């Protein structure tokens, strides 16, 4: 038998109960130095005779269960906090990129190229309401590969969100109907399984718009998510988009 085989066989030997007892007797400070072990230890039951319940064992068991529950909640909160910090960093980076875009064309590049990379989504689409939406639909339908902007008929944004909503998170697009979904993702609606829509209002041109995030993973977005950071991002896009359209003179042309 080789040295490696002997080592492997030795590592698989089962420690007996007596060995554990002997070790504890030889190391009486083990639980003092490692108090967390008490959380998983089962205390001995005391036989009081008859139908008397050992409340000490019962209470210790409840305390152990409570500690495990608190630990799970703490780990979940920690995980959620890390996710929030990561999202906050992504939103900050996106805001800087949007603010630095000097003109409408550069702004579209940030929306269609930088935002998908920052937020790890498949597509980000800017949708503008326009009186010429039908014209754009007819004449641009064969040039969709790198299109960052789509045009919607007037009033469609209101139909998508309703009167009050400013954000819409869809876990599964195959199960939840989204008004105008095909127009928002005309070139990739077949692969978008989950999406987030942000409502925007452009005061200079008095038109509605929206920002759409699409991913091919179900439940990437869902109702349980917070929308504060997404709403903030939507406001940044709204402000810069309104500025760029106004400065370029495109606000009343598109």
Q: What is the third-level CATH fold of 101-248? A: Beta-Lactamase (3.30.450)
**Partners of 195 in the β-ladder:** 170, 214
Q: What is d(CA 56, CA 65) in angstroms, rounded to the nearest whole number?
A: 14
DSSP 179-248: TTHHHHSTTTTTT--EEEEEEEEETTTTEEEEEEEEESSTTSS-TTS--HHHHHHHHHHHHHHHHHHHHH
DSSP 108-156: HHIIIIIHHHHHT-SEEEEEEE-TTHHHHHHHHTT--TT--EEEE-TTH
Sequence spans of domains, the chain: 101-248
Do the beta carbons of residue 97 and residue 106 sit within 8 Å? no
44 Ramachandran zone, left/alpha/beta (phi>0; psi -120 to 50): beta
Beta strands at 207-215 and 194-202: parallel, antiparallel or unpaired: antiparallel
Query: pLDDT tens track of the chain, all 254 residues?
Result: 554 555 555 556 788 888 888 887 888 787 677 776 666 666 666 565 555 545 566 566 666 677 677 776 666 555 555 656 667 888 899 999 999 999 999 999 999 999 999 999 999 999 998 876 665 665 555 554 446 888 998 999 999 998 888 999 999 999 999 999 999 998 888 999 999 999 999 998 888 999 999 999 999 998 888 888 889 999 999 999 999 988 887 766 66
The structure's pTM equals 0.66
> In terms of Cα–Cα distance, which of 190, 188, 181, 186 is closest to 140?
186
Do the beta carbons of residue 245 and residue 209 sit within 8 Å? no
Do the beta carbons of residue 132 and residue 254 sit within 8 Å? yes
Structure tokens at 55: 């409340």
**What strands, in cross-sheet order, belong to the sheet with 194-202?**
149-152, 123-129, 207-215, 194-202, 167-170
Contacts of 81 (CB under 8 A, 6+ apart): none
> In terms of Cα–Cα distance, which of 126, 108, 152, 146 is closest to 211?
126
Structure tokens at 141: 């339908």
Q: What is d(CA 252, CA 158) in angstroms, rounded to the nearest whole number?
A: 20
pLDDT of residue 145: 47
Total residues belonging to the chain: 254
Contacts of 98 (CB under 8 A, 6+ apart): 107, 110, 111, 236, 237, 240
Mean of pLDDT over the chain: 80
């Amino acid at each position: 038998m080789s040295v490696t085989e002997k080592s492997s066989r030795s590592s698989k030997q089962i420690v007996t109960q007596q060995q554990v007892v002997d070790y504890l007797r030889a190391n009486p400070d083990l639980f003092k130095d490692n108090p967390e072990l008490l959380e998983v230890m089962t205390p001995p039951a005391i036989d009081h005779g008859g139908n008397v319940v050992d409340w000490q064992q019962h209470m210790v068991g409840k305390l152990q269960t409570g500690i495990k529950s608190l630990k799970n909640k703490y780990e979940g909160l920690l995980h959620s906090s890390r996710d929030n910090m990561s999202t906050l960093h992504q939103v900050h980076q996106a805001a800087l990129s949007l603010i630095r875009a000097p003109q409408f064309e550069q702004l579209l590049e940030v929306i269609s190229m930088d935002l998908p990379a920052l937020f790890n989504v498949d597509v980000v689409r800017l949708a503008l309401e326009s009186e010429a939406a039908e014209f754009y639909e007819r004449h641009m339908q064969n040039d969709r590969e790198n299109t960052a902007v789509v045009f919607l008929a007037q009033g469609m944004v209101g139909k998508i969100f309703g009167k009050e909503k400013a954000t819409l998170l869809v876990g599964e697009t195959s199960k939840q109907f989204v008004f105008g979904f095909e127009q928002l993702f005309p070139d990739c609606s077949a692969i978008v399984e989950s999406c987030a829509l942000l409502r925007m209002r452009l005061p200079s041109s008095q038109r509605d718009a929206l920002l759409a995030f699409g991913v091919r993973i179900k439940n990437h977005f869902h109702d349980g998510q917070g929308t504060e950071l997404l709403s903030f991002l939507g406001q940044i896009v709204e402000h810069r988009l309104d500025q760029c359209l106004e400065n370029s003179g495109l606000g009343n042309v598109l």
